[in-house]
Amino acid sequence: MEETEEKYIKNLKKHTSRLFRALVGLLVDWDFEKSPRFLKVLGERHTRYNVILPHFNLIGLAITQVLQELLGFNFTVESEKTWKKVYLYIVELMTEDNEFSTF
């Protein structure tokens, strides 16, 4: 495996871990004052990383798939709908007032 590929995989694993820690933290300890501000700042930071709006859709699909695999039959249609609403709200908070490219 090339060094750049190894570095990419290492960075991807690190980002995935940070993403899931942030999501769990938000879901467990949601603060109606602090959490939206945190997400707005996080979204602002992601504009500097050249994240584009379609990336949020891809991440949402990937997380949904992971939840389906981990929870199996416990990830019901209703829980999937609820998760999608929560994720869309998080994305809305991250992207509002921030300039994300669509391509």
Along the 103 residues of the chain, how does pLDDT read in single tens digits? 677 999 999 999 999 999 999 999 999 999 999 999 999 999 999 999 999 999 999 999 999 999 999 999 999 999 999 999 999 999 999 999 888 888 7
CATH 3.30.70.890 is the classification of domain 31-95:
no
Other CB atoms within a 10 A radius of the CB of residue 43 amount to 21
The 3-state DSSP class for residue 74 equals helix
List all residues 6 or more positions away from 75 whose beta carbon is below 8 Å from its beta carbon: 67, 68
List all residues 6 or more positions away from 90 whose beta carbon is below 8 Å from its beta carbon: 23, 26, 39
The 3-state DSSP class for residue 30 equals coil
Burial 63-79 (b: 16+ CB within 10 A, else e): beeeeeeeeeeebeeee
**Predicted model pTM:** 0.86
